[in-house]
Structures are given as C-alpha cells and as structure tokens.
Amino acid sequence: MALLQIAEPGLSTAPHQHRLAVGIDLGTTNSLVATVRSGSATCLPDESGRTLLPSVVHYSEAGTVVGHAAQAEQSRDPHNTIVSVKRFMGRGLTDLPDASALPYRFVDAPGMLQLSTRSGVKSPVEVSADILRTLKERAEQSLGGELTGAVITVPAYFDDAQRQATKDAARVAGLNVLRLLNEPTAAAIAYGLDNGSEGVYVVYDLGGGTFDVSILKLSRGVFEVLSTSGDSALGGDDFDQRIFCWILSESRLSALGAHDTRLLLTRAREAKEALTEHTETRITAILSDGESIDLILDQATFHEISQTLIDKTLLPVRKALRDAKIGVDEVKGVVMVGGATRMPQVQKAVGALFGQPPLTNLDPDKVVALGAAMQADVLAGNKGNDDWLLLDVIPLSLGLETMGGLVEKVIPRNSTIPTARAQEFTTFKDGQSAMAIHVLQGERELVADCRSLARFVLHGIPPMVAGAARIRVTFQVDADGLLSVTAREQSSGVEASIEVKPSYGLSDDEISRMLTESLSNVQGDIEARKLREAIVDAQSLTEATRSALANDGDLLDASERTAIDAALAAVDLATQGDSTRIVNDAAAALSRLTDPFAERRMNRNIQRALKGHNISEL
C-alpha cells in the first residue's frame, strides 16, 4: 500500500535525485533536526557534536544567540532570555495564569502576546523562528545544500491557533513546510518502521511543556490513529516548578526578583535531571542578596511533590483508551516520548497502569525528530516505493451554530485526516437572503460551551419561504489539521468560504475542559439541547401562526381568535422558562387549536387557485 500524496505538488523527484528534506522537533525545552541518510534516520549534530539544541533565545544589543550560548544567559539576563516559548504560541496574556511569576516584560498586544526585549518587541512566532532558523542552518551545513522542505512536529493537542503560529514561524525562518505532524504519530512512525511493530500501541508523550497521548493501531504498514487526548499546558516545566516551590518552602523564601527566580528554576531543572540517575541530589545557589541555598532533595520527596502531576497525565490516557474502545490488556506496548519520561516515577506509573514496562529502546528526546525525518523523506519524493500509510486524526469535533445556540457537529473528533464532509442547512425566516456561518470546535451541545473558530456570512440567498433554501456547508481539514469552510446555496450557486486562521490568544484551560466536561455534563447537555430544540420549534410555530393570522384572520370568529391568542401567549411564556415539557405541551396545544384554521386556509387557497378556471383547463 503506497503512502497517499507521496510527494507534495511540484516536488516529484527526478530519477536518482535525492531531495534534502528534514524533520524538526520544535520542543519546549530542546529542539532537534533529523534527516534520512542511506535509508536510516539520524539526528544532525552541531559543530560540537551535540544533537539537542536548547529552545532558548537571548536578545541583546549585540545580536541574537540561540541554544547553549543563550542558555548560559538565563540567570544573568532573565528579562531578555526567552525559554519555553512553545507555551506562548497562539496565546494571549490573559491565557497565562502564572504570567506575573515569569521574568519577562509582556506586551498585551491584540491577538498573540508579545515580549519586550533589548532587541525590540518579539512575538512567540519570531522567537520560534530564530530557533528554527538555527536548525535550518545546521541542516544545510551538515547536508551540503539547500533544503527542499521540512516536516515540523506539533503536540497532537495543539489547536488551530497554535498550529498556525508554528507554521508562521517556519515561514519566517525560511522553511518550506511539507507537513505539520503530530508528535505521537511521528514517534509511532519511528518505532513502527524501525521495529516492524504490529498491534495496538500507546504513545505517551510528556515533553517540556505539553502532554499528549495517542492510541495507534499498526497493521501491515498502516499507521491508524484510533484516538488522541492530552493537556497542552502540562510538561516537564511543571515538575521544575514543583521543585522550585519546594526550595522556597524549605529555605523560607518569599518574594524573589527575576534573576533569583530564573536561577532557582535552573537549579530545579538540574535537580530533576540528576534524580533520574541518582537517589538524591544537592541543590546549591547564592542569591543576589548574598543568601545561600544548600539543600538535599531525594527521589522519595520528589515523587511525593510531583505525584499529582503524574496522576494528571493518566486521566487523558484513560480517556483515550475509552474513545478507542481499547482495554489495557489489548495494548501491545507503550512508547515513551519526551525527555520528561526519563523520570523513574513516570515510568513506574505508566508501567503500573498497563501492567508492562514501557518501551524505551529509542531515545525519547530523539524519537519524534526521527519519525518526522522519515515522513519528510517520503513527502519529498525520495522513497516512493515504501509500503506504509499514515492515518492521523483531529482531536476535537468541528461544527456550526444553529438556531437556539445549538452546535451541529459536521466532523466528529477522532476523524481521520485529511477529510472533507458536507451537510445541508436551511433558512429560519421567510425571505431570508443571508446566513451567518459560525464555525465551532468542541464536544458540548451549546455554543457557549465550545470554542469559536471563525465567522463569515453567505449573502445573495434568493428570498424563499422559511425552510425552502438549501445551503450546503462543506468542511475540509488538510493534513496539517487546518480547516477551511465553504457555504453554497444550491439553487443560485452563490458561495462564500473562509480559511480558518483563528485569532491567537485562546485559553489553554478550555482545551482540557472541552473533553472532561463533555463527559461529566452528558445528561445536562442532552436536556439543554432538547430544551433549545423545543424552543426553536415552538418559536417557528408561533411565527407561522401570526403570519397566518395577519393574512387570513377573518376566517376565525371572535372566540376562536381569543383562544388562539391565549395559546400564543402561553407558548411565548413557556419559551422563557427552562422546562422542555411545558414548552412542548404549550406548542402542542397551539397546534391543536390552529388545525381547523389551517384547514380553512387550505380551502380558501384552493378556491383562489381554481377561481376563473373551468374543468377542461385543469
């Protein structure tokens, strides 16, 4: 079975011509670039032989430095040394609950937040572009030529704003993006191809700033993502923060300046890494006021203060298993991805959940980049005969707002991408000549509980009676997980469309809320939807009744008119309440009262139609 879309348009390769393509893992803590050489994926080192590039950028009057040199400036110049910028991608200042604790000078610009540095105001896109540019230069020096393109990995739970920000950063860095690839899927490619694996696998990806879990089925070269879940605001940085808080508590420290905060966070990260191999570690530091820190942290204490974080990762794992309808006994292996999975307590917790030790035979820091390199090699057209197929999924459902503030899902979550689906909608009012299209993402039944992605208006709908127009709305999700929506009125052919590039600055809390609340509020959502649907139907009935009264009210005597007016008032009152039964009962009563009126109107309309015609004409 050949890989779909084996080469991007214009990139089909000539015989014997190898195109230079790379895979890039743009990580929260470290980033890597990899390529395929002689049929084998390998990470490319810098001039000192180091494959890991710290995702740190330092800005000064003298210029910009990235990586190890920038990392050395973290404690000395924290205001101008940007670390973990991945957590800011596609986010606004209001989305950062701990912004005041960070050493940066934030600028609350419209859309995505910005950071004020000595080199000027920088957006997270620009900071990420500096990291990507450094990796691009490393690759071109190692490979001896210009890159054709790159596959860049993103957390599976990155939303559209975060994915678009990543793509923008790559373009600023001068990279041709062949594909955005979900990190767990990239890891599965690396494991599946290197080890010839088949069966159901769980990819547990705990990086520096994000957590993802994907359930994949590998069978005869087909990589099918069955489900995905995660938390886009949980990672190794949070474990550093727990150690940092422990240091403050043990040393009885209160408010710290930016310099001391960054210094102790660096020491916390070093302690976390040391406890991976040792049972205890010493934490020493001299603060700016001369006070010294000298503490011993052992593994048991670290496990205790970080246990809630580990438990927090297991909730999405269980959710993904339920979505995939897979039991833990059906899982053949658990792939560990991300440097944070080196922590013994993480491996122990995952092993206990699945009843088997997790797979760690590939370097968890490198596995994502290696898988991305394999995908890039295929997309560049270098390996057209490879017998494997990649089937990824979207993490959250996509749909539209309908009358009553309800969400109509068009593409359900965990649908394989790329995909396209269409659904027909109609008008609510007589003579309606335009329709507002509101695109939403989420699992809840009401618009207020889902995320707004985009809005546009379809104009030029021919005036018709309510319900007669046919508006076909088509959703298309590309291989990068980005969405475009088209609305077309079928009889006239008028059309409007939008590429969904949502405004930056969406809340991190919402993405985890969407799935957890979709489960905990299932019954409430169903009842709320029934109420909204009942209200919409009742309002449609009252509007039609009032229109009929205006045109043919003379067909009723005074007592009948009074009864219908009273029934209309009862329906209006019922729709202001929160009882589905009362709304349905009031609407049913109105419908029964107006049945004789409807018959008289039908007879009148037939008489009007027949007036002036004889039998032979008919």
Strand (E) or helix (H) holding 519: helix 508-520
348 CB-near residues (< 8 Å, 6+ apart): none
Q: How far is CA 496 from the centre of its chain?
A: 25
Q: Which two tokens stand for residue 156?
A: 């599976």
Nearest C-alpha neighbor of 29 from the set 80, 81, 84: 84
Give how far Cα 242 sits from Cα of 29, 308, 553, Å.
17, 10, 74
Q: Would you name the residues annotated as active-site residues?
A: 25, 86, 183, 205
Buried b (16+ CB within 10 A) or exposed e, 387-423: ebebebbbbbbbbbbbebbbbebbbebbeebeeeeee
Tokens 């400036």 correspond to 73
Note whether 580 and 531 are within 8 A (CB).
Answer: yes
* Residue 297, strand partner residues: 281
CA pair distance 179, 23, nearest whole angstrom: 10
CA pair distance 490, 471, nearest whole angstrom: 6
Note whether 15 and 153 are within 8 A (CB).
Answer: no
Identify residue 119 by its one-letter amino acid code: S
Note whether 255 and 333 are within 8 A (CB).
Answer: no
CA pair distance 414, 182, nearest whole angstrom: 13
Note whether 183 and 154 are within 8 A (CB).
Answer: yes
